[in-house]
Amino acid sequence: MRTCYQSSALLGIVAFVLFSLVLVASAEEFIIPPVPDKNAVLPANDGEADGCNSSRFACVMSGEAVLDKQTGLVWARNTEILRKAVPCEEAKRFCQDVEVGGKKGWRLPTREELISLLDTSQSRPALPEGHPFTQLRSFHYSGLGDVNYWTSTDFQGDSNSAWMVDLSVGRVIDSIKVFDGYAWPVRDGE
């Protein structure tokens, strides 16, 4: 004969299993972009020791920004220019207000723009070998966590969620905009 305690314990286990299934079913959708075709991508490791002036990247604006010759976009060279993770709207405002290399007019990148920097054959960070970007040796890249950067692209038309890119492994995920992520300013070429 079952006791009340045994029935409660069984009910608790069933509830936990059902709750776990709901969590798995509603987990963040994520994408891992394909490894770039090395024949179609400009090399980043044929420049100076600091990563500047390769076939793919050129340091501009007194070395505070990087021109991606493949896309024509200019990125802040310091990937952690904000120095902290913030909600999406704060990241957008930061990018709009920041001055890099004496210039304003920056913005949060789209999902496609941020993905264009990835090299998923690399990890910690998932950027092309020989890239010129700085501030990549923070604790995040030591394996202690994800390094999620906001994009300006809403997740499947949901204005409450946006795409993020995890630079540690090159994973692309969706997230609710009130969660924290990093901001990496970009602008159209000079």
Q: Strand 73-76: give its sheet, edge to edge.
A: 57-60, 65-68, 73-76, 186-188
Q: What residue type is assigned to position 123 of the chain?
A: S
Task: Give this prediction's pTM.
Answer: 0.75
pLDDT score of 136: 67
pLDDT score of 103: 95
pLDDT score of 1: 52
pLDDT score of 57: 92
Domain coordinates of the chain in residue numbers? 28-188
CATH class of 28-188: alpha beta
Q: What residue type is assigned to position 189 of the chain?
A: G
pLDDT score of 44: 80
CA-CA distance, 82 to 95, in Å (whole number)? 9
User: Tens place of pLDDT for every residue, the chain, 190 residues?
Assistant: 555 544 454 444 444 433 333 333 333 454 554 444 445 678 888 878 888 888 899 999 999 999 999 999 999 999 888 888 899 999 999 999 999 999 999 999 999 999 999 888 888 888 888 889 987 644 444 444 568 899 999 998 788 999 999 888 888 888 899 999 999 999 998 6
